[in-house]
Each structure stands twice: as structure tokens, then as C-alpha cells.
């Protein structure tokens, strides 16, 4: 049973919600970033890029920059672009995409549940990134994008959400990626308490996206445990969705070179233990135990059904049987010979990159199911990096959780 708690979100005013909320900062290239900053004075990206247009620039990843981000955030609040809700609330958020929709609850979760395994992981974190984000949180004192947590489907929760959605949403807007975003405020005491009790019946929550943010939040809470009587730092913002609202896509691999092997020698190594069949086009739907490979202007189907047990996903099999032993690729998190492409893009993009000699070969992998993700997390195991591309992708700045006491910025 995981603990959840309502909070007083700092949010954009209704008329500016569509202008403030942004994609994750890292998804913009430099041209897009400059266009966004130049054309929209309200975008949350201004908060994360406080030195835009200034001669003096703070070095990236430093506490000096994080301090400027914090100042920029409170400037947005003082200017009335962002406003703190008067009552603690949950926030029901619905995202409608061209290929699906997600409905779930924005709340705060306790770091103890991350530490004790009630919030379960399927991915290892990188210490450098974990420490960097803990530093960021220590200076800024806010979360601007919730960690995505998933749980088993629950009919009572679904019925409660449908009743709430019968009312007019607090904000309702669309973005240029053809997604519609709707947000309802839940601050009535009986509804809040009912949702708290319903989540107490859910045995575990699973991190779908946000392993580093969860780890960093827990790290910061440990650092502050003896320094502050305020417990706000023990909670972090999460978006709780049922399995039916989670869309998991595959994550494909592009390999820079064949490690000195010719295409014929590489195929021969694979064929020693597996079926490798030339095909005219990549499979439209990759089933469990099937991997597509593109090499030397040719698509192949690798069938690994005999060696893929219930606890092994395709990305792990590929790592263990081809990437490491044959291609001698070490740590997938840092090896420059491997790159990744999300499975929402057409597989023809993989072939284009190989044909243009940006890579020597490519592997297309099937999506992981929620039950596979859940089974790996329940067993205390982890997947290789970039095993899943998960939706919904959440906006930054739609709801913000600050663990700085109100009296310090009023």
C-alpha cells in the first residue's frame, strides 16, 4: 500500500496554461529552443533557461544556474503567470493523443515507499545523473514534471474518475503534436479521502518513466532529514495511471560498426545459434521472440523463441547474445558505438540511417508488455537501458510541486 497526498499545486492561470506547459526541456534541439524562447514569453522553458539573451551565462549543471532557475520560477509566480492553489488537491489529468488516451491522478508520493519497494523500479540509475538532479532539487525546491507511476487496473478508481470528468475541466487545450490536455481539480475533502483510501488497496506502484527523478528525490530527502522539520521534501510529484492508460513502444538499436567483422561473418555468427531469415520488409508487428535486423540493404528476421524465457525481454536477449559477445559492445549507457530510436517512428528510419552509413546495422525490437515490466520489477530485476518508450509524455509546468515552505515565498 503506497501513500499518496494532495498538495497545493503552483499552476499557470487558466488563460495561460496552454502557453506555459511545455515538452520536456531535453526534447528541443537548439533551433527549436531558440524559436520557443523568442516566440513565447510564458513558456516554462524560460524558467529552465534563465540566461536566454543575456551576456553573462551560468555554466550548465551548476548550483549557480540552478539558483537562477529558482529565481526565474518565483518571478513567474510574482508576475501572476503562475499561481498557488489555496487548498491541497489532487489533479485528474487526461491526455488524448491521435493513437490513444491516458487518464490518471497527479498527487505526491512518499520517498519511503520508493525506498521500501512499494514503488518499484525496472531500470538502474546512473549515479552522476542522480546526483546532478538531487543538486538541482536542493537549490530549486520544486518538481515541475511528475514521475509516471503505473498500477493494476481498478474499476472503483475508473468509476470515480468518470464522475469527476462529468464536470467542466479547469483547463482544456491542445498542443501542436495533436494532443489534447484536460485537468480537473479535486479538493473536496470527501473525494480526496476516498481516493487516498482506494490507493491504500493497491499493493504496488511501478515506475514507468522517472527512475532518476525518484532516486534523486529519495537522496535529497535523506540529506535533509536531520536538517529540517518541514516534511515537504519527503514527498515528490507523481502521475498515477492504470495499466490500461499506459502505452509501451519498443526501443530500437543502431550500431555504428560490426567490430571488424564483414556483414557475411556477422550473419554467420548469429546463425550459429539462431534462425536468421532474409525478408522483403520489416515485420509490421514484432511478436515476442522476434527481432528484425537491417544490414547491408537487407532486412532479416531473427527468431529466438527457444531461448527467450518468461523473464527475458528481447532487449536483454539482444544484449546478452549479440551486442556483447559478437559486437563487443560494453555498457549500453556509455558505449559510443550504440544509439537508440524510439519505436513510435517507422522502421524505415532505421534502414535510412544504415543506407546513409550513419550506422552499420540496426535492430528493431518488440514492445514490452505491462505484465513483463511488472514481473521484472516484482523480481527486483532490471531491464537494459532504453528498453521501453512509454506514453503519455507529460508536460512540464502544468502542475508544480514546491517543497519550500509557503511563508518563505509569500
DSSP string, 71-133: HHHHHHHHTTSEEE-SS-BEEEEEEEETTEEEEEEEEEEEHHHHHTTSEE-SSPPPHHHHHHH
| d(C-alpha 33, C-alpha 52), whole Å | 10
Q: Both 162 and 273 in a single domain?
A: no
- The partner residues of 336 in beta bridges, in order of sequence, read none
Burial label, 366 (beta-carbon count in 10 A; 0-12, 13-18, 19+): buried
Q: Both 343 and 401 in a single domain?
A: no
pLDDT at residue 311, rounded to an integer: 57
Q: Is 22 among the domain residues? A: yes
Q: Which three cell numbers stand for residue 134?
A: 538531487
Q: Both 223 and 298 in a single domain?
A: no
Q: Is 371 among the domain residues? A: no
Q: Is 43 among the domain residues? A: yes
Question: Is the Cα torsion angle 135, 139, 142, 144 positive or negative in sign?
Answer: negative
| d(C-alpha 351, C-alpha 254), whole Å | 10
Q: Is 166 among the domain residues? A: yes
**Spatial CB neighbours of 387, under 8 Å, sequence gap ≥ 6:** 123, 251, 313, 315, 316, 365, 368
Residue range of the domain that includes 261: 251-366
Is 0.85 surpassed by the pTM of this model?
yes
Domain CATH number, residue 112: 3.90.1530.10
Burial label, 79 (beta-carbon count in 10 A; 0-12, 13-18, 19+): exposed
Q: Is 375 among the domain residues? A: no
**Spatial CB neighbours of 128, under 8 Å, sequence gap ≥ 6:** none
Q: Both 280 and 239 in a single domain?
A: no
User: To which H or E segment does residue 5 belong?
Assistant: strand 4-5
Q: Both 242 and 275 in a single domain?
A: no
pLDDT at residue 356, rounded to an integer: 97
Q: Both 140 and 271 in a single domain?
A: no
Burial label, 289 (beta-carbon count in 10 A; 0-12, 13-18, 19+): middle
pLDDT at residue 245, rounded to an integer: 97
- The per-residue pLDDT string of the chain (410 residues; one tens digit each, 9 = 90 and over) reads 789 999 999 999 999 999 999 998 888 888 988 899 999 999 999 999 999 888 889 999 999 999 999 999 999 999 999 999 999 999 999 999 999 999 999 999 999 999 999 999 998 888 889 999 999 999 999 999 999 999 999 999 999 999 999 999 999 999 999 999 999 999 999 999 999 999 999 999 999 999 999 999 999 999 988 766 678 999 999 999 999 999 999 899 999 999 999 999 999 999 988 889 999 999 887 777 789 999 999 999 998 755 555 556 889 889 999 999 999 998 888 899 999 999 988 899 999 999 999 999 999 998 888 999 999 999 999 998 889 999 999 999 999 999 988 766 65
pLDDT at residue 109, rounded to an integer: 97
For the chain, how many structural domains are there in total? 2
Q: Is 383 among the domain residues? A: no
Q: Both 128 and 263 in a single domain?
A: no
Residue bearing cell 514521475: 147
Amino acid at each position: 500500500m503506497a501513500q499518496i497526498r494532495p498538495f497545493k499545486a503552483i499552476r499557470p492561470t487558466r488563460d495561460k496554461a496552454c502557453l506555459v506547459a511545455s515538452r520536456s526541456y531535453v526534447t528541443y534541439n537548439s533551433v527549436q529552443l531558440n524559436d520557443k524562447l523568442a516566440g513565447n514569453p510564458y513558456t516554462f522553458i524560460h524558467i529552465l533557461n534563465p540566461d536566454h539573451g543575456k551576456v553573462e551565462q551560468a555554466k550548465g549543471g551548476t548550483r549557480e544556474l540552478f539558483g537562477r532557475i529558482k529565481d526565474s520560477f518565483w518571478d513567474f509566480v510574482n508576475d501572476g503567470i503562475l499561481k498557488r492553489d489555496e487548498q491541497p488537491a489532487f489533479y485528474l489529468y487526461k491526455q488524448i493523443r491521435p493513437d490513444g488516451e491516458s487518464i490518471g491522478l497527479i498527487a505526491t508520493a512518499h520517498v519511503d515507499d520508493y525506498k521500501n519497494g512499494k514503488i518499484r523500479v525496472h531500470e538502474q540509475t546512473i549515479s552522476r545523473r542522480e546526483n546532478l538532479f538531487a543538486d538541482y532539487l536542493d537549490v530549486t525546491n520544486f518538481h515541475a514534471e511528475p514521475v509516471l507511476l503505473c498500477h493494476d487496473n481498478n474499476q472503483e478508481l475508473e468509476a470515480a474518475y468518470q464522475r469527476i470528468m462529468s464536470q467542466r475541466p479547469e483547463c482544456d487545450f491542445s498542443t501542436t503534436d495533436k494532443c489534447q490536455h484536460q485537468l480537473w481539480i479535486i479538493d473536496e475533502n470527501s473525494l480526496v479521502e476516498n481516493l487516498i483510501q482506494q490507493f491504500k488497496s493497491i499493493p504496488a506502484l511501478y515506475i514507468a518513466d522517472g527512475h532518476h527523478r525518484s532516486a534523486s528525490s529519495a537522496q535529497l530527502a535523506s540529506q535533509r532529514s536531520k536538517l529540517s522539520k518541514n516534511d515537504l521534501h519527503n514527498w515528490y510529484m507523481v502521475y498515477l495511471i492504470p495499466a490500461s492508460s499506459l502505452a509501451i513502444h519498443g526501443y530500437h538499436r543502431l550500431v555504428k560498426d560490426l567490430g571488424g567483422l564483414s556483414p557475411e561473418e556477422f550473419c554467420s555468427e548469429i546463425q550459429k545459434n539462431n534462425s536468421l531469415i532474409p525478408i522483403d520488409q520489416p515485420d509490421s508487428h514484432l511478436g515476442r521472440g522476434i527481432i528484425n535486423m537491417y544490414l547491408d540493404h537487407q532486412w532479416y528476421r531473427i527468431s529466438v523463441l527457444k531461448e527467450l524465457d518468461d523473464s527475458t525481454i528481447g532487449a536483454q536477449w539482444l544484449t546478452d547474445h549479440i551486442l556483447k559477445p559478437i559486437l563487443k559492445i560494453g555498457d549500453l549507457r556509455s558505449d559510443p558505438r550504440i544509439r537508440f530510436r524510439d519505436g513510435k517512428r517507422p522502421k524505415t528510419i532505421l534502414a535510412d540511417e544504415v543506407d546513409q552509413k550513419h550506422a552499420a546495422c540496426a535492430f528493431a525490437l518488440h514492445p514490452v508488455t505491462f505484465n513483463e515490466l511488472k514481473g521484472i520489477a516484482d523480481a527486483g530485476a532490471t531491464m537494459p537501458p532504453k528498453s521501453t518508450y512509454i506514453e503519455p509524455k507529460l508536460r512540464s509546468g502544468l502542475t508544480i510541486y514546491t517543497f519550500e515552505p509557503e511563508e518563505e515565498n509569500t
